[in-house]
Amino acid sequence: MRSASKAPDGTTGTSGTTFDRVLLGGKVLLLLAGLALVLAFPGLAPDAFILSVGVTIASYAALAVGWNFVGGFTGYISLGHAAYSGLGGYATALLIIDGGLNPWLALGVGALGVAVVAVPIGVASLRVRGASFVIVSIAMVLILLLVSQSWADVTGGSSGLRVPRPFSDDVLRPEQHERFFYLHVALVAVALLVWWAIDRSRFGIGLKAIREDEDKAQSLGVPTFKYKLVVFVISAFFTALAGGMYALWFGYLDPIFQFSILIGSYMVLMSLLGGIRSLFGPVVGAVIVGYSLEYFKNQYGDSQFHLVALGLMLGLVVLFMPDGVLPAIGQLVNRFRPTATSIREESAADLLARTTKTEPRQAEEVSR
């Protein structure tokens, strides 16, 4: 990995220069502007359709951020995260319909239930790496699709399941969209906060070590399997919350759309396009991909052409931009960094003095 030698946030230790302060200010401004735009969106949307597109994109963002707990930290690419969003949706719906729970309580309990279910799945699938892991993740979705279609008594089978609305009927549709938009945004914010906290923790460093080289991480004493399992369960939990929230908003579940490999591939595409190593990568990716998906579906209607568009987009990202948009922008900005020259600031003599001074001390520590 090229970026492995750098610190995770891309800074190379030259903090304190004017350039860095300007950069930080720019980032904060950009973040605030983005936040303001997101919060003002329901007021700016001209009609209910645009508003519903906004909710869909927010839902994609929640799914992608949930996916990025596993994908971003450990580098295990799961194409089957639709399993957890679908389970979250069905768990929420069934807890409301059959369990008589309050919708919001059902959402939380359902997601916790999915997290519990994710433990044995994680134990089985995290035993293998790379390609086998992807195969297992796809298999998970296909199994759940088979089960949910065949087990019609519980899931409603192919005819689908109607989810009761959490808000009373006198709340009109645009109002519903607006409330769910803010709920989805809040979910994304919480998930991002957790991601950020893990990113800065010892746990996060261990996970990133697994991503860069799992065998080396293990030999350095990182409890790789435990770490992978914990982050896998966290990821399943947030993905299930996003799936449940979507079910409450959309009000209807169909196995073909819930347990679809397409949904899982959307999550991968969004995160990769935005950049799986960056905090906001999945969100940026969700906005780009979500908007394009809605555009393609609107333009080409019922024809299968949106699949071609999705396929081409994914192919181009994998071939030409596997690190994502945000890191690419970061590299572009770094070009303008005034200190980024090939000439070292310190002289060779300084360097020699520093290394000879520290080395004996290190040797001492090792011998002790």
Q: Which residues contact other proteins by CB under 8 A?
A: 1, 75, 77, 79, 124-125, 127-132, 134-136, 138-139, 142-143, 146-147, 149-150, 261-262, 265, 268, 272, 303-315, 318-319, 322
Task: Count Cα neighbours of 158 within 13 Å in the Cβ-side half-sphere.
Answer: 2
Q: In whole angstroms, how close is the CB of 121 to other proteins at the nearest point?
A: 9
Q: In whole angstroms, how close is the CB of 317 to other proteins at the nearest point?
A: 8
- Please say which residue, 59 or 74, places its beta carbon nearer to other proteins: 74
Contact 184, 245 (CB under 8 A): yes
Q: How many CB atoms lie within 10 A of CB 19?
A: 16
Q: In whole angstroms, how close is the CB of 204 to other proteins at the nearest point?
A: 20
- Please say which residue, 172 or 307, places its beta carbon nearer to other proteins: 307
Q: In whole angstroms, how close is the CB of 277 to other proteins at the nearest point?
A: 13
Rounded CA-CA distance 37/13 in Å is 32
- Please say which residue, 56 or 148, places its beta carbon nearer to other proteins: 148
Q: What is the dihedral of CA 67, 213, 316, 81, to 10 degrees?
A: -20
- Please say which residue, 163 or 263, places its beta carbon nearer to other proteins: 263
Q: Which two tokens stand for residue 322?
A: 């596997």
Q: In whole angstroms, how close is the CB of 222 to other proteins at the nearest point?
A: 18
- Please say which residue, 1 or 29, places its beta carbon nearer to other proteins: 1
Contacts of 123 (CB under 8 A, 6+ apart): 229
Contact 122, 237 (CB under 8 A): no
Rounded CA-CA distance 183/206 in Å is 32
- Please say which residue, 96 or 273, places its beta carbon nearer to other proteins: 273
SS3 content of the chain, % helix, strand, coil (to 5): 75, 0, 25
Residue 252, SS3 per DSSP: strand
- Please say which residue, 102 or 299, places its beta carbon nearer to other proteins: 299
Q: In whole angstroms, how close is the CB of 135 to other proteins at the nearest point?
A: 4
Q: In whole angstroms, how close is the CB of 76 to other proteins at the nearest point?
A: 8
Rounded CA-CA distance 208/55 in Å is 32
Q: In whole angstroms, how close is the CB of 146 to other proteins at the nearest point?
A: 6
- Please say which residue, 136 or 233, places its beta carbon nearer to other proteins: 136
- Please say which residue, 164 or 311, places its beta carbon nearer to other proteins: 311
Q: In whole angstroms, how close is the CB of 34 to other proteins at the nearest point?
A: 28
First-to-last C-alpha distance (Å) of the chain? 34
DSSP 10: S
Q: Residue 162 pairs with which residues in a beta bridge?
A: 252
Q: What is the dihedral of CA 336, 338, 340, 345, to 10 degrees?
A: 180
Contact 272, 324 (CB under 8 A): yes
Contact 161, 253 (CB under 8 A): yes
- Report angle CA 313, 60, 102 to the nearest 5 degrees: 160
